[in-house]
Amino acid sequence: MTSRYRFFWRRLMHMKFNSKQVYEATLHKTHRNIYLPCTLGFSLLTLMGFEKKLNAQDELILTIKHCILFVQRGEFDKAEQLLHVALKQAQQIHHQEGITYIYDVMANLALEREQYDKAKQLFVAVTQRIMADGATEDDLRVVHISVKLARISHMKREYTTAQLGYDWCIEKLNNALKYDPSEANTKLLAMAEDWYGRLFLDSDKCEIGLSYMKQAYERMKNLVDIEQEHLVIQLNDLGTVCDRLGNVDESIEYYSKAIDIGKNFPDMHDLGAMYVNLGRAYIKKNMLDIARKSCGQGWKLGIKTKNNDVKHEAELCMQEIRAMS
């Protein structure tokens, strides 16, 4: 471990964990975003071996199952309330592994809801617990949490800290893949690369960001346990970055792939926006007939999904086409 990362990590580990403060934090509603498979859907469950114990039909396991179900449905308030019940159950029977897992789910839920300070405290608490049980700083469970801590720093615009964390995590995960090319390790590395790429975008280093995002997509598309909707959004974002860099042909390729897959999910909220993106790319190539058709489809989907933003953008796209005709 480099001295810079050691300082960063130990500073985090000395954070005081106040459970009452964390649990009583004000909650707010956010839309369930496309990164769910990489946050809530990728917790310590599989890494701790706790998954194998989910078959037990005791009260604690059933409560945890219901918590996860609420999370998957996007019913975050219900999940939050039931997680407190599960935590009390685990504490009453001194189920230490269960307590750790519940903290991890709480942390992921807080991250999903953009409650970054709360998520950070909970992730640190989880790390302290697993390290107290013998995990080292190189343990993949610790690396897993470090990726999310880097993400939190990124979202709080602490870019230097975020880059430090991503660099260290990606190095550790690349080394781990040499010995264990499992889907779990590949998924975590892809998540780290995708988030790292977006950090570079936010720092106006789009070419570097695009490189990391492409690597992430290449890993993700070959995974078995990955939601296709996630790949659709990834492809659209790649198209957007290419478009920003002036690589219009490449952006059209990514947008088209995103739409081809997204057509299988007609209720997908963002599909109309992808048609508009594709239409705007065709406008840049002066291919107005194709652009008109694409923006028109985006407008129809905006109406169908009651997405006024997409509808408005499609209308602007059509106006631009008429002005050029």
What are the residue boundaries of the structural domains of the chain, listed by start? 1-226, 227-325
Q: What is the pLDDT of residue 45?
A: 57
CA distance 138 to 119: 21
* pLDDT (tens digit per residue) in 40-74: 445 665 556 665 665 554 788 888 888 888 988 88
Position 212, amino acid: Y
pTM of the model: 0.83
CA distance 66 to 83: 9
CA distance 153 to 148: 9
Counting as low any pLDDT under 50, the low residues of the chain are: 1, 7, 9, 11-38, 40-41, 57
Q: What is the pLDDT of residue 6?
A: 52
SS3 167: helix
Q: What is the pLDDT of residue 23?
A: 32
Q: What is the pLDDT of residue 18?
A: 38
Q: What is the pLDDT of residue 203?
A: 93
Q: What is the pLDDT of residue 78?
A: 95
* pLDDT (tens digit per residue) in 108-162: 999 989 999 999 999 999 999 999 999 988 888 999 999 999 999 999 999 999 9
CA distance 98 to 321: 58
Contacts of 152 (CB under 8 A, 6+ apart): 111, 116, 119, 120, 123
Position 26, amino acid: T
CATH code of the domain occupying 1-226:
1.25.40
- Percent of the chain beyond pLDDT 90? 63
Report the Cα–Cα distance between both ends of the chain, in Å, rounded. Answer: 60
Q: What is the pLDDT of residue 49?
A: 61
Query: Residue 311 — φ and ψ, nearest 5°?
Result: -60, -45
Contacts of 31 (CB under 8 A, 6+ apart): none
What's the CATH architecture for 227-325? Alpha Horseshoe (1.25)
Q: What is the pLDDT of residue 194?
A: 95
Q: What is the pLDDT of residue 44?
A: 64
